[in-house]
Chains A and B, each alone.
Chain A
């Protein structure tokens, strides 16, 4: 976790240096805002990971030579089959087409997307293979 933290932070610091040079040299606000946002994209998650790295023991994947005892535990629950991402994708497709053709597909699109959002949430709450 410590290295992940340093990786994000390093990118954030790099962009912070670049934005300082760019802003003082060019005075151009559009590009400066974008690089500043990139710097924050490094610094904010970097700080979060660092905050956790200080409070956690190294995980088995951070250890060079983990013992079998350190390597036990449940990785997580992974769904195997669920139709709802497909339904949500079709909903997004219909909404997209409605943005071009301004038609009744908007209603179907939202019906698909909302039902999929509710179903996928319930499914995740139930957990495990679904």
Chain B
């Protein structure tokens, strides 16, 4: 008898079972099922992404012509601040570690739920209310926060940014920060303590591994941000001088604290998506993953190095140790390169099936590699001094973050859509969306590199005709509109699969990991019976016993091989 069958018997006498639970809205408000919470996170974050995307459209429309008066300069500042804040705090992270991780981790390790279901529900409500708090800024008399998503001191002080908008921004990110910390605790505990029998650490899917490391990074980074925000609030309201020179404080301290959160945050955003494509490449190449342990240790190396590189955002402050931060930043390219190598190695010689998930995942490699390589440029202080705060940097981080969260994110979304909903998406619409977004994305951001090299500063609402930025900005705006059309196609795809559903089989892709061994969508406690786990592809082994993965190693052998 498996643990889970036993669990079913143990809870049989308890008063309320899932299928007897409340109905309607009350069911949605009170559910602690990780699948319901995961889907809530995913759909909420997609809505936030679309709102922030609309803001990006307004920004690009303003920049399409010189001396534009489409929006006021104050509104422009508010738009780019909330666009960045929503994309980073409310979409990219929560979409991955709130949405995908919540939904998939218990399924992938054969657990009935997350370790702390109530805490999980609280995380979601803090996230949702935090998001609403941020948007409330637009409805206040002084407008939303307008100091950029990084909230640099002293611009964010009560003298330079008075009003309720900046305070709402601070409270919002504190709420979302607590939500993230709770999710991090939940992820690490679930992965350490709720794995099914036989699911050793080195049999976990790469996505689960990446989420474990993301959870650890959240625990390192998020508390620093929350503490920094509380001190900022104290500076604004209680007359402390933590970040103001006047009272003996230091504005650069804010940058140190913020980027000690901010740089690991980039990897908190990226690692889950690396995990998603690591699940997709083997399935659509009909091969096991190439270099499993290499991927795991590359992930750990990225996590370790990412906490020692925060000051590469601060090269031009003149207060940081340039060789140390430059060297560590350059080093990160090594484990990242290993990952790209293993993804290509997985596809190499495989029977590639270019369904939408693989197409999006290949698009991710292209986009992310371009953004990553310009990151290597920027890790070199002389280049950073020349391009700091120009559109070169804007193009770099959009290629990295858009490349990761949208391309890998939609690869994952289409890959697991049948499992989430029990329905199939429309393949042609998903491909059409890919090409619109891929062309639009490159058309938007490649010209921005040139704009940056020609000296266009970031965060300006207006430029003059004599600056000669017009043509490249027009190209960039055209690309942004093309991308927006791509997202309309996505909404049409979702509408069609909602109104005229095509039922999805339990395992439409011949998947490898445990989530494909249960029904689509899974039952309340995930599995009626967990298949035996004797490799890192248990579902594949169950469906293809003739090609099951090799010899079973003992725990002692494995840990000796890995650690010595």
A residues with a Cβ closer than 8 A to B are 2-4, 6-7, 10-11, 14-15, 18, 21-22, 25-26, 28, 30-31, 34-35, 38, 41, 58, 60-66, 68, 70-86, 88-90, 92-93, 96-97, 99-101, 120, 124, 128-130
Contact = CB atoms under 8 A, between A and B. Distances in A.
Contacts of B320: 26, 28
B31 A129 contact: no
Contacts of B17: 80, 129
Contacts of A85: 32, 118-122, 125
Contacts of B29: 83, 86
28 contacts: A3-B559, A7-B201, A7-B300, A15-B307, A18-B307, A25-B321, A30-B256, A31-B256, A31-B310, A61-B196, A61-B197, A63-B198, A63-B555, A64-B200, A68-B1, A71-B1, A71-B197, A74-B3, A76-B7, A77-B11, A80-B16, A80-B17, A81-B30, A86-B30, A89-B128, A92-B125, A93-B125, A93-B129
Given A31-B256, A99-B171, A93 B197 contact: no
Nearest to A28: B321
Contacts of B524: 80
Contact of B534 (A21, A65, A79): A65
Contacts of A35: 307-308
B253 A41 contact: no
Interface size class, chain B: 35 or more
B3 A60 contact: yes
B282 interface: no
B277 interface: no
A48 B60 CA distance: 52
B377 interface: no
A15 B304 contact: yes
Interface string B191-206: 0101111111110000
A130 B219 contact: no
A41 B219 contact: yes
A75 B7 contact: yes
A79 B6 contact: no
A78 B18 CA distance: 11
Contact of B4 (A11, A75, A88): A75
Contact of A80 (B32, B233, B307): B32
Contacts of B164: 100-101
Q: Give the residue among B6, B27, B129, B168 with the most A Cβ atoms within 10 A.
A: B129
Contact of A4 (B2, B167, B192, B563): B192
A89 B33 CA distance: 17
B471 interface: no
Nearest to A31: B256
B260 interface: yes
Q: Give the residue among A6, A26, A64 with the most B Cβ atoms within 10 A.
A: A64
A28 B16 CA distance: 57
